[in-house]
Chains A and B, each alone.
Chain A
């Protein structure tokens, strides 16, 4: 099979064909509207279901990390004995949260208190618009897709601040302060970690970035950016900053349950709480999707021989891999303190990310080097990032070491 036939194979085009078929039933002046509505509905439906199963996957996986079984009882209604490994748990959770009483504190700013969960979900969903899910599947082809993504992503933190401020609760207020500090600290390394890619591909379009990662050396070494000496550190910085941006452990300070009860969620109950929960997972999924797009080759297959699997399947597989990684981190690590959190960002991630931008510039400058010069190119590029990594890492952990203990004579 030639490459051209693969990109146009039936499976690859199936979602588009289905959409066009439905749209054809509409009168011509309304076709553009149907076109967009179907895209929106498809994204909502797919990622809504995906969210439901992420929650159960997270609970199951965390349980396995902790010597537990996790939810395994909920089955189908009216059918006894069929538990489906608890797969219907998210639907039971949804019904539970929907039927719960919605409590608004008497002293709360009722308008903001109501708006915060709406805004957080809206903005976290908007980020999905520019993710290329497949070779032909991208809701909106934007030239400034990356800028759009970060703008919408940062707005969710503002909603968290709104929630914390409007609840009129001291824990919520502290959480709001933490959320803002975290936003200011981690938005910077997050964006800086992406700059090298923009430099190298000279595009802000997500689809363009994925296309730039196409191709294989010898048919099995993909040209993903994570396998370059500037892409790998960029990916690590992106991962850490993404954890912080989506308020996940070890950076879950705004909702640190051992300190601030539930942080900005303390005064939320019922479906508003569920909306925040949903937004957290949407945000995590979107950031994982962006990581996949920017560093892990997006929808590109890892091996040339596996191209027959449709591109959106590869995207989903990589996305699930990223989410599993995030869940694993959550089950493993301790929470940082707020001063350590900002210190990690300003004294470690930002300098490294800045150096990485220079690293990418060096990589572009030397793109004509070949043969033995190629080895020198790799060595210099690695040195630019590894030496500061070790030095900065030392200053970060200076003064902390396991101790030896004496015993009473």
Chain B
């Protein structure tokens, strides 16, 4: 049975069973249609939700996006392969390192390009640091949506800034790192940088412990998030949802394990799984994944080999892959981040397509929100983790 046909029963038993009634009703009063966004403090950018409210309860919710559309894919088809690399930074502007890597992965697959060992380790270090940046920002913003006056967010930003400073020291830019190249990385970190990064990673669990001690067990936090925005595994799989949102629903699907791209097969880490698929599980997935990322980073720092960071045969300028197509994907902090490329042998890709996890995770927003209140809708949106640069492209 396809649950997305209109005749399917209301998908979520946990929701109090919303029934959309007529907008005008003599007895119950009118429904209220509120357009939340594109200018709204908690739609995380220029996202818009057209919400129909029965009192405080949502009976209909229509996500509207595209306000930040920049024609990313067409622009990439009109520029060289390397020329798109800095442009991928702007997709998910919190996680430029992973986005760079996903694009490099696709191009390397297209051109059959090898990557030296040290670069593979550096890529894992950068990707996991990016995961820490993304997840700590996310839990901070989630608490902001829950109504704290910025305190948890600023605690999270304190840690995030330290990592961002490292990125700046390495790549010259805080957020638009433009670090990965086809066949390696752009700059080799100095021993001092590595020592600083090592120290940061060693201290990171202390931040997580502090954060959890103050917030995870809080009764208001539990009451606001547990049982809110349930998403069951079947629906999540059918809608193509990936990343922590999918794992919170209990599906064991992590591309670092499934594809074992890069050198992830050599690392020892676990994939946390949720059981309820609600907002609390989605929050805890991020916290637990940060702990696993710290483990991966510590192993990577221990084993980081010496050697070149670029494959000597790699060609950046005048790069013309032979005709063909390739799909490169990795486990981004938000989910499966993929680039699909078709080459016709020219310096520009014939077709360039991004699979943005933010957009695809957003597709079930209405189903998750229905029957909850408008306050919950904001929290559910926050727990999905979207970046509008990636949703709208």
Report A's interface with B, CB cutoff 8 A.
62, 65-68, 170-171, 173-174, 177, 249-250, 252, 256-261, 330-340, 397, 399-403, 405-409
On whether the beta carbons of B218 and A334 are closer than 8 Å, the reply is: yes
Residues in A with CB closer than 8 Å to B216 are 402
Residues in A with CB closer than 8 Å to B280 are 403
On whether the beta carbons of A400 and B147 are closer than 8 Å, the reply is: no
Residues in A with CB closer than 8 Å to B144 are 258
Residues in B with CB closer than 8 Å to A409 are 252
19 residue pairs bridging A and B, Cβ less than 8 Å apart: A65-B151, A67-B155, A170-B32, A171-B34, A173-B32, A249-B149, A258-B378, A259-B375, A331-B149, A334-B143, A336-B220, A397-B219, A400-B223, A400-B226, A401-B222, A403-B281, A407-B270, A407-B273, A408-B270
A330 to chain B, nearest CB (A): 6
On whether the beta carbons of B56 and A334 are closer than 8 Å, the reply is: no
Decide if B288 is an interface residue (CB 8 Å cutoff): yes
On whether the beta carbons of B223 and A340 are closer than 8 Å, the reply is: yes
Residues in A with CB closer than 8 Å to B154 are 66-68
User: Which residue of B146, B219, B257, B378 is within 8 Å of A400 (Cβ)?
Assistant: B219
On whether the beta carbons of A261 and B223 are closer than 8 Å, the reply is: no
**Besides A259-B375, A332-B151, 18 new A-B residue pairs in contact (Cβ under 8 A), listed by A number:** A65-B151, A68-B154, A170-B32, A250-B147, A258-B146, A261-B40, A335-B224, A338-B56, A340-B220, A340-B223, A397-B222, A397-B223, A399-B226, A403-B281, A405-B272, A407-B271, A408-B252, A408-B271
B365 to chain A, nearest CB (A): 16
Complex alpha-carbon distance, A338 and B373, angstroms: 9
Binary contact readout B139-152 vs A (1 if CB under 8 angstroms, 0 otherwise) = 00001111111110
**CB within 8 Å for A259 and B374 given contacts A170-B32, A405-B273:** yes
Residues in A with CB closer than 8 Å to B148 are 249, 332-335
On whether the beta carbons of A249 and B219 are closer than 8 Å, the reply is: no
Q: Name the 10 nearest CB pairs between A and B, nearest first.
A: A335-B147, A408-B271, A400-B222, A407-B270, A408-B252, A258-B42, A66-B154, A334-B146, A334-B220, A258-B145
Residues in A with CB closer than 8 Å to B223 are 336-337, 340, 397, 400
Complex alpha-carbon distance, A67 and B162, angstroms: 14
Complex alpha-carbon distance, A402 and B154, angstroms: 24
On whether the beta carbons of A405 and B274 are closer than 8 Å, the reply is: yes
On whether the beta carbons of B378 and A259 are closer than 8 Å, the reply is: yes
On whether the beta carbons of B40 and A337 are closer than 8 Å, the reply is: no
User: Which residue of B33, B143, B254, B276 is within 8 Å of A408 (Cβ)?
Assistant: B254
Closest residue of A by beta carbon distance from B35: A170
- Between B144, B148, B273, B281, the greatest number of chain A beta carbons within 10 A of the residue's beta carbon is seen for B148
- Between B32, B254, B257, the greatest number of chain A beta carbons within 10 A of the residue's beta carbon is seen for B32
Complex alpha-carbon distance, A139 and B221, angstroms: 43
Residues in B with CB closer than 8 Å to A333 are 148, 218, 220
Decide if B376 is an interface residue (CB 8 Å cutoff): yes
Binary contact readout B219-247 vs A (1 if CB under 8 angstroms, 0 otherwise) = 11111101100000000000000000000
On whether the beta carbons of A408 and B257 are closer than 8 Å, the reply is: yes
On whether the beta carbons of B40 and A250 are closer than 8 Å, the reply is: no
Complex alpha-carbon distance, A256 and B226, angstroms: 20
Complex alpha-carbon distance, A338 and B57, angstroms: 11
Decide if B41 is an interface residue (CB 8 Å cutoff): yes
Closest residue of B by beta carbon distance from A327: B149
- Between A173, A340, A408, the greatest number of chain B beta carbons within 10 A of the residue's beta carbon is seen for A408
Complex alpha-carbon distance, A334 and B375, angstroms: 12
Residues in B with CB closer than 8 Å to A67 are 154-155, 158
Complex alpha-carbon distance, A151 and B151, angstroms: 35
Decide if B275 is an interface residue (CB 8 Å cutoff): yes
On whether the beta carbons of A170 and B34 are closer than 8 Å, the reply is: yes
Residues in A with CB closer than 8 Å to B318 are none
Complex alpha-carbon distance, A7 and B276, angstroms: 65
Residues in A with CB closer than 8 Å to B41 are 257-258, 261
Closest residue of A by beta carbon distance from B379: A258
On whether the beta carbons of B272 and A174 are closer than 8 Å, the reply is: no
Complex alpha-carbon distance, A335 and B276, angstroms: 23
A234 to chain B, nearest CB (A): 22
Decide if B217 is an interface residue (CB 8 Å cutoff): yes
B382 to chain A, nearest CB (A): 8
Complex alpha-carbon distance, A177 and B29, angstroms: 14
Complex alpha-carbon distance, A215 and B307, angstroms: 81
Closest residue of A by beta carbon distance from B271: A408
Residues in B with CB closer than 8 Å to A402 are 216-217, 222
Decide if B364 is an interface residue (CB 8 Å cutoff): no
Decide if B360 is an interface residue (CB 8 Å cutoff): no
Residues in A with CB closer than 8 Å to B218 are 333-334
Complex alpha-carbon distance, A333 and B150, angstroms: 10
A77 to chain B, nearest CB (A): 30
Closest residue of B by beta carbon distance from A401: B222
Decide if B284 is an interface residue (CB 8 Å cutoff): yes
User: Which residue of A66, A261, A339 is within 8 Å of B151 (Cβ)?
Assistant: A66
B163 to chain A, nearest CB (A): 16
Closest residue of A by beta carbon distance from B382: A258
Residues in B with CB closer than 8 Å to A400 are 219, 222-223, 226
Complex alpha-carbon distance, A90 and B197, angstroms: 42
Complex alpha-carbon distance, A405 and B288, angstroms: 9
B4 to chain A, nearest CB (A): 27
On whether the beta carbons of B222 and A174 are closer than 8 Å, the reply is: no
On whether the beta carbons of A174 and B56 are closer than 8 Å, the reply is: yes
Complex alpha-carbon distance, A258 and B42, angstroms: 5
Closest residue of A by beta carbon distance from B220: A334
Residues in A with CB closer than 8 Å to B146 are 258, 334-335
Residues in B with CB closer than 8 Å to A334 are 143, 146-148, 218, 220-221, 224
Complex alpha-carbon distance, A66 and B223, angstroms: 24
Residues in A with CB closer than 8 Å to B254 are 408
Complex alpha-carbon distance, A336 and B275, angstroms: 25
